[in-house]
Amino acid sequence: MQKTALITGAAQGLGEIISGQLLAAGYRVVMTDANQSGVEAAAKALSDDTARVMALKLDVLDKQQFIDVQEAVANAWGPVDVLVNNAAMTPTTSLFDITPEEFSQVVDINLRGTFLACQVIGKTMMERGTGRIINLASLAGQMGGVAAGAHYASSKAGIVTLTKIFARNLAGKGVTVNAIAPGPVDLATVREKVPADKLEHIIQNVIPVQALSDPAFIGQMVVMLASDGAATVTGATWDINGGMFMR
């Protein structure tokens, strides 16, 4: 039976790439984003097969929208088997320039959004006795970041802890919860946010392997963690950072 994966923040960047990797692995893919026109365009670019790819608007700050999206997917394809929490803001505002409003916005979208998704869809998975949740954390949440803002780093640190909490609570219910913590990734969005000279300095002098991480590989890791064979892998944060953080 074909399984269904739901990805948040899928209109561009890593979310779009993860969606493509899951589609290639045989999943039906629900691409969601607050940017409805953007996610619809991304879904169409990925595949014209509406029996395998669906685009839905989803504001991760709104719990009811998670409930509504889950119901829409269930009516069309059945339950969500795999949840990928990717939606995030990634500002690089300097520490003493972050306003209270910006801090709250970033933490709400990144951390609260992940919490609501795990709460709503994780509960349904628990009731079904099966499911996979993969949360996108970040190297910034483990060591404070290289270029990311303090609010972004703080939210991603919270995701690492939240992953453990949901993993512990769902472990006996057939549901695994893991996180992936990328360092700098070779994405257009990264190159847009970090000046070229600063990025080159990071690559050559900060990243031990002297290369940005491959986003397609991150998508492949999502596929691996979503697989049936990953049933005993839970509560872990998987590092993809070029050796910047070792433990």
Q: Are 54 and 30 in contact (CB under 8 A)?
A: yes
**Alpha carbon distance 30, 47 (integer Å):** 12
| Residue type present at position 67 | I
- Phi/psi at 186 (5° precision): -80, 80
Whether 152 is catalytic is yes
**Nearest one of 175, 236, 244 to 205, comparing CA atoms:** 244
Distance CA 2, CA 77 (A): 9
Question: Which of 27, 115, 152, 166 is flagged as catalytic?
Answer: 152
CB-side neighbour CA atoms (13 Å) of 17: 16
The type of residue at 143 is M
Minimal CA–CA distance to 16: which of 233, 218, 234, 237? 218
In the sheet that holds 28-33, the strands lie side by side as: 53-57, 28-33, 4-7, 82-85, 131-136, 175-182, 237-240
Which residues are tagged catalytic?
A: 152
